[in-house]
A and B are shown apart, each in its own frame.
Chain A
């Protein structure tokens, strides 16, 4: 009841999905997938999002209760969450409202800046890799420099061949390495999927009885 039935649901449903991928039968394509699985998944999905929201809120409220290090900043989390949620749920999502204003002038600038910060940390990582003085790190950095320079006007000024070399790096060695890694990842993903489908891998059901 606690673990066997969910496992049975995964195996039976999984096998139906295997049949769905191969057979164009109306029962599988329309009745099972379009009329049953998709609407049922969409109907249960909001609760999964709610689980995440409750989990994060519980984490922050317990941080405040325990007076954990930097607990004061958890109030900013709640302030941002409550104001945005109320602005969207009461005021709507249309342009010109508080919700979109917060998105455009707070969320978007902050997330773009957060990602742009990574440029500095990647530069420092590249410097550390270069200091390692290994042949592998040098090859990596030389390939990176060719690709980076080819994308800016300065690269073309240095040599008109740079864009061609960069494109060759992307089209030949890069493609071969990505294809090799992709094939390995694909084999691994299929093996894991098969293990789940056959009930060998059960960690997604969690521990306990």
Chain B
């Protein structure tokens, strides 16, 4: 048995284990599920060690003697006090340090999520499509404005927003289904070509 075939058989076994859930929940699926979580966590640990711990903590302190970084390292260890009942409050310090960046989120959030979108939405209504986009955006925004009762002519206009959203959700749904189906085709191609093709 070649190395490639053996590797593909392992992949095929776990692929079929996960697919077995389509029939019903079973021990093979449970095993693969837990194994996947474990492997992903191990992968994350190695990646964190290699990409964060070594270049940003170990090398600067041990090789470059940048001892000031011992302070954030101690601050980082405070995260682990989360498990302690008495000293759990110490974990608030690293959380507070990482939450500081929220200050940057206010002006940048206003710019990216509000101002830029408003500028794009308030262009001259030269075509029918631009008019439809403008009406739709206003109607969707008003649909979530609950300080005025959705009744009468206003209610009918606000209802237009609901239809726009249904079409939008449908489009997102369709794109997501297609993305999942392309993954499914990939897995079936793997089983048919890479596994059964090599077994022939």
**Are A84 and B166 in touch, CB under 8 angstroms?**
no
* B63 interfacial contact with A, CB 8 Å: no
Interface size of B by CB at 8 A reads 118
Minimum CB distance partner of B43 in chain A: A84
CB neighbours of B169 from chain A (8 A): 140, 143, 177
**Are B34 and A80 in touch, CB under 8 angstroms?**
yes
Give Cα distance in the complex from A168 to B136, angstroms. Answer: 14
CB distance from B86 to the nearest CB of A (A): 11
Known: A20-B104, A140-B169, A189-B109. A173 touches B183 (CB 8 A): no
* A48 interfacial contact with B, CB 8 Å: yes
**Are B11 and A49 in touch, CB under 8 angstroms?**
no
CB distance from B90 to the nearest CB of A (A): 9
CB distance from A197 to the nearest CB of B (A): 6
CB distance from A42 to the nearest CB of B (A): 4
CB neighbours of A3 from chain B (8 A): 89, 92
Give Cα distance in the complex from A76 to B33, angstroms. Answer: 9
* B107 interfacial contact with A, CB 8 Å: yes
**Are B89 and A116 in touch, CB under 8 angstroms?**
no
Tell me which of A15, A119, A204 contacts B181 (CB under 8 A): A119
CB neighbours of B167 from chain A (8 A): 139-140, 143, 169, 173-174, 177
Digitize B36-47: 1 where CB-to-A-CB distance is under 8 Å, 0 elsewhere. 111111111111
Minimum CB distance partner of B135 in chain A: A176
CB neighbours of B69 from chain A (8 A): 39-40, 43
Give Cα distance in the complex from A82 to B105, angstroms. Answer: 38
CB neighbours of B30 from chain A (8 A): 70, 73
CB neighbours of A31 from chain B (8 A): none
**Are B104 and A107 in touch, CB under 8 angstroms?**
no
CB neighbours of B43 from chain A (8 A): 84, 88, 99, 103, 107
**Are A44 and B164 in touch, CB under 8 angstroms?**
no
**Are B42 and A84 in touch, CB under 8 angstroms?**
yes
Known: A83-B42, A93-B46. A187 touches B114 (CB 8 A): yes
Interface residues in chain B, defined as those with a beta carbon under 8 Å from any beta carbon in chain A? 7-8, 10-12, 14-15, 17-19, 21-22, 27, 30-50, 52-53, 56-57, 60, 69, 71-73, 75-80, 82-83, 88-89, 91-110, 112-114, 117-118, 120-121, 129, 132-141, 143-144, 161-178, 180-181, 183-184, 186-187, 190
Closest 4 CB pairs of A and B: A186-B113, A80-B38, A180-B140, A176-B136
**15 A/B residue pairs, CB under 8 Å, sorted by A:** A20-B104, A21-B108, A39-B60, A47-B77, A51-B82, A80-B34, A80-B41, A84-B43, A88-B43, A143-B167, A172-B133, A175-B133, A176-B140, A183-B137, A190-B105
